[in-house]
Amino acid sequence: MLVDFLYPLGFLAAAGIIIPVLIHLWRKERRNILQVGSTKIFGDIKKNRINRLRIKNWPLLLLRCLIILVLSCLLAAPHIDMSRPKAKETGWILLGAAYPEKLGERQRAMIDSLLKKGYGARAFESGFREISIQAADTIAQSANPFALVNRLNTILPTGFPVAIFSDLQISRLTGDMPSTAVDLTWHAFENQDETPVHWAARAWFTASDSIAAIVASSSTEGTNFERLVVQADGSEQGLRVKAEQGQTLVKTDGQLEWVPVSNRKMRIRFAVDTPIPDQRYLSALLAAYQQTTDLPMEMAAYQPGEPCDILFDFTEAGLSDTLMTVSVIFRYAPGLPEEQQNNYIVPVNGHLNSPTARVYKMIVAEDNQAPVWQDAYGRPLLTVSRQHGYTLFRCYTRFNPQWTDLIWSEAFINGMIPILVNANEPLLINSFHTYPQDKRLLAGSVSLPYRTTTVRDAGRVASQANAVPYLIWIALLAFAAERIMTYKSKPNDE
């Protein structure tokens, strides 16, 4: 256990301990009055003046001193951290939830070898407590493993060896991929449950008043979505339907939450300066999608200030009145195009050997947002970001055939349809923000970017290591005891 103090100068307040000491030394005692008939009998008594300084109530004095000391300690902001490595530990082994069943034989042999080298076994959870591998300790499932890796950067020295064995489930890897200053290797469990899970992602009433749903099927290898039209009560399709408070709900067998069946049309709007072929190509795709899925859609020109679900902003300058009225904006990036030779679109999650669309013109610009498409040189062609409550897609090429042959490619369908499946949270398969039921896993070992420890990292203290609440309780209890003892020590007035 290590105790750190953020503000050591706060201990100067401990000098205030002299105050209760002086109070006890200089306290004047109440003297009893003796009534006599005459003072003459005291006339011949020799007068001796005796001045004595003594403390009569030691427990009360100690309580008051304790209060001063605790308050000064609070000013110093102490933090207790039990997660730092011990001197005998040459490294850490961090084990995730359900490790006794999910570790493979090869991984067990690797762990035994690390233990012989002096590694310590720890739980891959907040606090990194010590565990016994033989005892098969229960470990909590981490909601965000990336946050735990960031925590390691604040408690471990640079280059400290760490080996993590856990599930690398994509749905839990939220946020940006962290960089680390420790010597970290991250291994996915070898033994996994291959049983797929199913859930309804979205449902709506079709034009024929039947219920259609997008149903996902997810396993450790991948997640697929298909459209189903509910037949009868849906039981033969693994679906359940119910009506509650005027709202129709649907879900799959085993799914926890019910999904409302939407009876509202998806509002899709277009904004253009002049008629362009880009809009015609996209409108044709959307019309085909509507016909195939029977999803209620309403396509029209955008009116300023009009709320809508998806806005395709094909204007040169970009609209500025869309704040708080649009859920998703697909916008062309402004700038001067550059001619391209032998260039093509590469989806971030795609493969180089798969058919891709050619790029003839593009706007070369720096963009630090998450890329969805890149060109052959790693430059962004389509990025996504979350801004002021809406999702923004920024495109650095055009749907015009003079810019790219994207509209003739399968990538055009695969890139646009996920936006329509869920307008508020587009199902981008390269994104770490996915459904919690998604069972997709990263296999093998994962390498994280390496970075050196900064001064800011060294001074960062985790909130769970804060010792201030304990001192506050000690101060409150000491103050209550002091008040009780002070009250009882007062003489009764009669």
Domain count, the chain: 3
Q: Give residue 14's pLDDT band: very low, low, confident or very high (50, 70, 90).
A: low
pLDDT of 65 higher than 70? yes
Residues 298 and 358 in one domain: yes
HSE-up of residue 457 (Cα within 13 Å, Cβ side): 18
367 exposure class (CB count in 10 Å sphere: 0-12, 13-18, 19+): middle
Q: Are residues 137 and 232 in the same domain?
A: no
One domain for residues 316 and 380: yes
What does the alpha-carbon distance between residue 56 and residue 25 come to, in Å, rounded to a whole number? 9
DSSP three-state, residue 188? strand
pTM of the model: 0.53
Q: With contact defined as beta carbons under 8 Å apart, do 294 and 208 qualify?
A: yes
Please say if the pLDDT value at position 5 is more than 70: no
Q: Is the pLDDT of residue 324 over 90?
A: no
Most confident of 106-115, 126-135, 362-371, 455-464: 106-115
Nearest residue to 485 (alpha-carbon basis) of 107, 76, 4, 20? 20
**275 falls in which pLDDT band (50, 70, 90)?**
confident
Q: What is the DSSP letter of 256?
A: S
pLDDT tens digits along 403-423: 998 888 777 777 777 666 655
**Is residue 415 domain-resident?**
yes
Among residues 215, 234, 262, the one where a domain terminates is: 262
Q: How confident is the model at residue 13 (pLDDT cuts 50, 70, 90)?
A: low
Domain shared by 371 and 410, yes or no = yes
Residues 270, 289, single domain; the answer is: yes
Does residue 394 sit in the same domain as residue 284?
yes
Range of the domain at 375: 266-421
Buried b (16+ CB within 10 A) or exposed e, 129-140: eebebeeeeebe
Q: Which of 221, 243, 262 is the last residue of a domain?
A: 262
Residue 491 inside a domain? The answer is: no
Look-up of token digits 């309403």: 298
Residue 44 pLDDT? 56
Q: 241 forms bridges with which residues in the sheet?
A: 250
Residue 486 placed within a domain: no
Band the pLDDT of 434: cuts 50, 70, 90: low
Q: Decide if 396 is inside a domain.
A: yes
* pLDDT band per the 50, 70, 90 thresholds, residue 467: low
Phi-psi region of 159 (alpha: psi -120 to 50; beta: other; left: phi over 0): left
Q: Are residues 252 and 310 in the same domain?
A: no
> What are the CA-CA distances from residue 414 to residues 17, 151, 226, 227, 461 (Å)?
73, 37, 13, 15, 44
> Taking 50 as the threshold, does the pLDDT of residue 458 lie above it?
no
The pLDDT of residue 220: 80
Q: pLDDT digit string (tens) for 19-34? A: 766 666 665 555 556 5
The answer to whether position 478 is within a domain reads: no
The CATH number that applies at residue 301 is 3.40.50.880
Average pLDDT, the chain: 78
Q: In this structure, are 246 and 291 located in the same domain?
A: no
Task: Determine the Cα angle at 426 with ends 287 and 394, to 5°.
Answer: 85
